[in-house]
Structure 1
Amino acid sequence: MTLSDIGLGVGIALANIAVIFAIYALTRRIWGGRQTTETKDLAGSVIFRIASLHGLILALVFAQELIDYSEIRADLVSEATAVADIFNDIRRFDAGEEVTAEVQGTLAAYLRHVVNHEWAELSETGKLTAEGWILREAIYETALNLAPATLRQTDLRAHMVAKAQAIAELRQKRENNAARELSGLFWFAALAGVVCVAVPYFTFAPTPLHLALLSLYGGYTGVIMFVIFAFSDPFANPGALPPTAFTQLLAGEMGQY
């Protein structure tokens, strides 16, 4: 996360505090001098119930986005593992230096393409590149065309074909995740909850302590909404997930191809 991303989060928190203060000032101006003890009791009851529902909504969406974010990271590791397995299995298959070098070179080119080009493309367009699919197809076709002569080679070929198919499935999942957007209904419910919680606070006098507590509520709610926003798009800032599993492979033997 960059300094600009942190600044964005702070800005959202401050904007949320400003909205709450504006609502508080408006409601104090309208109803501040016309309230009874019953009003304060009722306001406290309303605050508790709406705040509970609002917190539950934020918590559920936060948890779901975090789960999705973790699944994307796990899928990336699974894809990197599939690539590494094919890289090693083609050597074990002993199909000849030319075929082995071709497959391993294509796998390395695939990793470089995803890291250097396709990851940014997912952030900008939500689509995978044709070049990425071409490289994966070349790996798959080579694995299919292998002619095993022993049981060992038969098992290795089947394993490489399965791993190449897994790469395609994981690529498709990645594209689907990149195209997914957090529903506007959530943002409507989140912002409406901030307003509905802020309104009943007019029953409390604007003392420094009360204003500080309102700031604490507004700031933290803004931070939570910022984190949800960050997790909602794992391929773009501020919550961009780096392709670490791929770069780790390129830092090893594959980086030599």
Structure 2
Amino acid sequence: MHLYELMMGFGIALINVVGVLVIYAVTRAIWGGRQTEETTALAGSVMTRVATLHGLILALVFAQELADYSDIRSDLVSEATAIADIFNDIRRYDTPQMAEVQATLAAYMRHVIANEWETLSDTGKLTGAGWQLREKIHQTVLDLNPDTPRREDLRAHMVAKSELIAELRQKRENNAVRSLSGLFWFAAIVGLVWVAVPYFTYAPTPLHLSLLSLYGAYTGVILYVIFAFLDPFSQPGALPPTAFTQLLAGEMGRY
């Protein structure tokens, strides 16, 4: 994790702590010292129920965003595997177009790493150049004329893999433009406030304030991580195209 990400996470946690303590101070100034034992019991009951619902909302959204983030990483590995399959199958096919296809595959990966990843972060769109490189690969394998059962199987496999690359590219673009509904952020912030309010029944001792700060800080960290997972192509939760760089570190990097 980079220093920038750590500082941003710390800042959001600190803002949450300050917000919770301000809510506590305001409600304590208004109602503190005048509540009965019944008020304390009721506040504790309300706080428990709201905190449970608030925690459940955060947990469900956190789990969904983590799953989506993992799916993007898995799709990138699947795309890299499809590229490697075409790279090796065209060699087995033994055609004059072999060097051209292999060089285009390497150029495609370099373009994704150097240009398209940043473009997805800035605009949420794939580049036309990336699609052209993929189309060149697809058209080349489509134009092959297999004359043996072996070559026919290899061509069918390469065509299927080139179609898979297009499918995974489209999924990547869709993931780059998706966003989390503002209703979630509204519910998260309101839940944070409503959990903090009943704490006014507790005296402002150092221990109580520390525990309240701990709650605010941890909630802030969870919200920060959810925010980071929302955009896997931008900081603070940017997902590097490791599967592509690993391929280029091997034989494909020579093309």
- Same-fold call, TM cutoff 0.5: yes
Say yes or no: does 1:245 pair with 2:243: yes
Query: Cα deviation per residue 1:104-153 (whole Å; 9 max; x = unaligned)?
Result: 00000000000010001101111000000000000000010000010000
Please report how far the alpha carbon of residue 4 of structure 1 lies from its aligned counterpart in structure 2 after TM superposition.
Answer: 1.0
Deviation at 1:34, TM superposition (A): 1.5
Q: How does 1:63-212 map to 2 (within 5 A)?
A: 63-96=63-96, 99-212=97-210
Residue 182 (structure 1) shift: 1.3
Q: Find the aligned partners of 2:179 and 2:70 in 1 and give their Cα distance.
A: 16
The CA deviation string for residues 202-235 of structure 1, in whole angstroms up to 9 with x for no partner, is 0000000000000110000000100111111111
- Distance in 2, matches of 1:66 and 1:4, equals 21
Aligned letter for 1:192? V
Give ranges in structure 1 of 5+ residues lacking alignment: none
2:231 corresponds in structure 1 to 233
| Structure 2 runs not aligned, ≥5 long | none
CA distance in 2, matches of 1:137, 1:102: 13
Partner residue in 2 for 1:29: 29
Number of residue-to-residue matches in the alignment: 255
2:81 partner letter: T
Q: Which one-letter code corresponds to 2:123 in the other structure? A: T
**Could you say what the CA RMSD is over the residues aligned between the two structures, in angstroms?**
0.5
Cα distance between partner residues in 2 of 1:147 and 1:229: 50
4+ aligned runs moved over 6 Å, structure 1 = none
**Code of the aligned partner of 2:44:** G
CA offsets, 1:17-51, max 9 Å, x none? 00001100000111112200000000000000000
Partner amino acid for 1:156?
A: L
SS of 1:236 mapped into structure 2: coil
Q: Which residue of 1 aligns with 2:60?
A: 60
Residue identity opposite 2:114 in structure 1? N
Counterpart CA distance in 2 for 1:63 and 1:177 is 16
Amino acid at match of 1:54: H
Equivalent-residue separation in structure 1 for 2:181 and 2:238 (angstroms): 19
